[in-house]
Amino acid sequence: MSLYIQKFGGTSVSTLKKIKTIVNNISNFLKNGHKIVLVISAMSGDTNRLIRFSKKLNKKPTPREIDMLVSTGEQITISLITIALNTLDIEAISYTGPQLGILTSNNYTCARINNINLNMLHNDLNENKVIVVAGFQGINILGNITTLGRGGSDTTAVALSAALQAKECQIYTDVEGIYTTDPRVCTKAKYILFLTVEEMLELSSLGSKVLQIRSIEYAGKYNVKLRVLSSFNKNYGTLIIPDYLFLSNLYMENPMISGIAFNINESKITVCNIQDIPGMAYKIIKPISNANINIDMIIQNISNINNITDFTFTIEKNDFIKSYKILKKKVVNNIGGLLNIDEKITKISLVGVGMKSQSGVASHMFNILGNEGINIRMISTSEIKISILIDDKYLEKAICSLHTAFGLNIKQIIQQNNINN
Amino acid sequence: MSLYIQKFGGTSVSTLKKIKTIVNNISNFLKNGHKIVLVISAMSGDTNRLIRFSKKLNKKPTPREIDMLVSTGEQITISLITIALNTLDIEAISYTGPQLGILTSNNYTCARINNINLNMLHNDLNENKVIVVAGFQGINILGNITTLGRGGSDTTAVALSAALQAKECQIYTDVEGIYTTDPRVCTKAKYILFLTVEEMLELSSLGSKVLQIRSIEYAGKYNVKLRVLSSFNKNYGTLIIPDYLFLSNLYMENPMISGIAFNINESKITVCNIQDIPGMAYKIIKPISNANINIDMIIQNISNINNITDFTFTIEKNDFIKSYKILKKKVVNNIGGLLNIDEKITKISLVGVGMKSQSGVASHMFNILGNEGINIRMISTSEIKISILIDDKYLEKAICSLHTAFGLNIKQIIQQNNINN
């Protein structure tokens, strides 16, 4: 008999029919003799609807009141789920975040969980009750309701898994798991069976609609086994495991790469022909970051014999015009150089812990793209990731050829014994 | 500077436009330098919608979970009202019932308020904040959310008025106040300026959609001045005052009668020709009340020379067939007698504390009805009420002629100085 935390997102509880479906699934799961704590989100669309409502009354609603408002969404679903469980003669009880003593920081709309009072949870679990917890919400030391930011229910689930030392934290969604790449770009995308936390973080652009990034970090920090799976079928989904478990080879042979992420929302700016002297990078970047613009990749190559170099970085497309103006005014006028811009680029990242022990991933990648006639504009690497910039018109071609070449078209084989142990 | 409790019902907060209207009114009210605690209901229809939802999942949802579910309705409106007040630069803060420490009995869906923690209220009032309280809800000693039954927000408002010794408890609705009779039956119905608590209770059928009966009892017990008025105009509404204030003649000359209530949902049953011996009434009533059927009026006249009498009572139309069968089987078969039934009747009640000191109300009433050719089937009187049964086809005729004859067509004159002191 083990304890599982099961989180159901907004799309899984958006209709009475779906509620009935997942409640039946829960009932079947309980027949294995396991204990469950459920974490439930608001019905999809509910939170947005309430926020839209409030903004019609006040363009800048007080964050405390926003949290008071939106936290009703999960309160509705937890009671409905509990009521539905009761029809199946399952003893269940619902709790809001504040009722359960999920103590958070004070910052409304993006609070962090500091502590969870386990007394009520342990009591109810001892009585074999299914506990139905409102995700996304807590209480601060002032006694006010707080919320954890978008996707905060994932964090609630992981935090409860850590606190209760659950066997697994299962995130039920409307997709099969984390995919090797976006199925809309490459139809051969498969869902991944195993990922390390580190890989998942690097692949976050593929999973960001499925998992709150913070919850992944949290899972890594507290060694929570996190599984992303579908509410509506019986596949195993994607198991995200702490790095040390992966490295102990408990799970499987490391694949060379696990997935291919991409980002079409970046632009590239190069400051050409600048002096390669200490402090130059700082002089370029400082006015950009002062304007609260996030920089993603940064590249500076070695200088030529005249000590002249180029400095390149990428930013979000939204920030492009603003950045260009800042550079023109505050940098080029000051330190000289020429601006070379490119808005029509896409970033593609190969991610996999397997890279650590297998050389040649980069050269293999470059070779494939070269064969496809795709020019690489910029390269940046880390231990488990290789990111390149290419012209955005090649996005699909690049992703699909890499997906095939790195063996991702083939579905991973499930090692049953590794999944439930 | 005085403290007012203002309660806004579901129809007053059912749209963003209405919320803006009442928030503007509140802002104007605050310009008089008064302090306010607002008590807000859920948007009209919201609570029913949620209950309907839950019943689709489970015919008998757990009361605890029902309260968890429906209490979200007020949580939504208090935050919206607070957010709307903030746009007008009014410092406001919302509280759910549990947050405010409105401690209730344990019985979910119909809990009673036992205590209110005044610390937070006093702190916020001292800081000149407008406090926005979720009506209808509280917390029990188990830490669970409870609700106070239909119209429970009225009780929240009256309880806060008593606890904070507010100058007045103002119940804002979508009608002008309590009417002399139902305007749909008699178009000349006017709203009443002053009523005693006792009168209000007797007239409850006229006010039941406006005020929860329990809140009126509570107001009487704790000497709370209760005013029913419109959210959407500036009329004074109906002030319901504790009986002792009325008797002290502080308010106005007692009118002979204050209002005419009626009930078209009753049926009459007579057990004729029974022996007038001790215990007979009990033998007739016991099987009815054992079946959980409520009895309203009961009449037994003196017996004739043969010691034979008739026993008549009224019940709700819904219970008629059931009652008839019980009487047939368990009473008539047992003690004899004949059943005489009448389903097509209406009860009409004249109510007024003025009756106490003015004789002749009954004879005046009977005279008017006689002149209209309306036969009276049954009569029952109390200190401040005369109730009669007539054929239901005469409902409108009877109400309108009595309304005219007892001077109710004429609007009461407002004595300004009596209203605000």
**Residue among A57, A58, A75 whose CB faces B72 most closely:** A75
Residue A316, annotated as binding a ligand: no
Rounded to a whole number of angstroms, the distance from the CA of A257 to the nearest CA of chain B is: 45
Residue type, A140: N
φ/ψ of residue A180, rounded to 5: -65, -30
3-state secondary structure of B39: strand
Residue A328, annotated as binding a ligand: no
> Side by side, which strands form the sheet with A376-382?
A259-263, A345-351, A385-391, A376-382
Runs of H (alpha helix) within B88-222: 119-126, 152-164, 197-202, 204-207, 213-221
pLDDT in tens, A313-352: 999 999 999 999 999 998 888 888 899 999 999 999 999 9
User: How does residue A306 score in pLDDT terms, banded at 50, 70 and 90?
Assistant: confident
Cβ-proximal residues to B88 (8 Å cutoff; 6+ apart), any chain: B23, B24, B27
Q: At what angle do helices A72-87 and B72-87 cross, to 10 degrees?
A: 170
CA atoms of A137 and A152, how far apart (whole Å): 8
- Residue A92, CA distances (Å) to A350, A415, B70, B149, B250 in order: 44, 33, 18, 24, 57
Residue A184, annotated as binding a ligand: yes
Residue B17, annotated as binding a ligand: no
* Residues of B whose CB is below 8 A from A83: 54, 57-58, 61-62, 65-66, 69
Instruction: Specify the residue for token string 């009954």.
Output: B362
On whether the CB atoms of residues A356 and A202 are closer than 8 A, the answer is no
User: How does residue A246 score in pLDDT terms, banded at 50, 70 and 90?
Assistant: low
What are B55's two structure tokens?
């019943």
Task: Count chain A–chain B contacts defined by CB atoms under 8 A.
Answer: 98
**Residue among A16, A57, A76 whose CB faces B87 most closely:** A57
Residue B314, annotated as binding a ligand: no
* Residues of B whose CB is below 8 A from A75: 68-69, 71-72, 75
DSSP B303-344: P-TTSEEEEEEEEEGGGHHHHHHHIIIIIIHHH--EEEEE-S
Per-residue pLDDT of chain B (421 residues; tens, 9 = 90+): 899 999 999 999 999 999 999 999 999 999 999 999 999 999 999 999 999 999 999 999 999 999 999 999 999 999 999 999 999 999 999 999 999 999 999 999 999 999 999 999 999 999 999 999 999 999 999 999 999 998 899 999 999 999 999 999 999 998 889 999 999 999 999 999 989 998 998 887 776 677 888 899 999 999 999 999 998 888 899 999 887 766 555 555 556 889 999 999 999 999 998 888 888 888 898 899 889 898 888 888 777 778 888 889 999 999 999 999 999 998 888 888 899 999 999 999 999 988 877 778 888 899 999 999 999 988 888 888 999 999 999 999 999 999 999 999 987 765 544 444 3
* Residues of B whose CB is below 8 A from A94: 65, 68
User: How does residue A50 score in pLDDT terms, banded at 50, 70 and 90?
Assistant: very high
Rounded to a whole number of angstroms, the distance from the CA of B291 to the nearest CA of chain A is: 29
* Averaged pLDDT for residues A162-179: 94
- Residue B221, CA distances (Å) to B69, B162, B226 in order: 31, 9, 12
Q: Which residue in chain B has the smallest CA separation from A51?
A: B80
DSSP type of residue B210: T
**Residue among B57, B66, B144 whose CB faces A84 most closely:** B57
Partner-chain contact A16 B57, CB within 8 Å: yes
* Averaged pLDDT for residues A394-412: 92
Q: Count Cβ atoms within 10 A of the Cβ of residue B248 and give its class: 0-12 exposed, 13-18 middle, 19 or more buried.
A: exposed
CA atoms of B352 and B380, how far apart (whole Å): 15
Interface of A with B (CB under 8 A): 16, 19-20, 50, 53-54, 56-59, 61-62, 64-66, 68-69, 71-72, 75-76, 78-80, 82-84, 86-87, 93-94, 96, 99, 143-144
Cβ-proximal residues to A187 (8 Å cutoff; 6+ apart), any chain: none
Rounded to a whole number of angstroms, the distance from the CA of B264 to the nearest CA of chain A is: 37
CA atoms of B287 and B218, how far apart (whole Å): 33
List the domains of chain A with CATH numbers. Answer: 3-253 (3.40.1160.10)
Nearest to B262 by CA among B312, B303, B314, B298: B314
Residue A314, annotated as binding a ligand: no
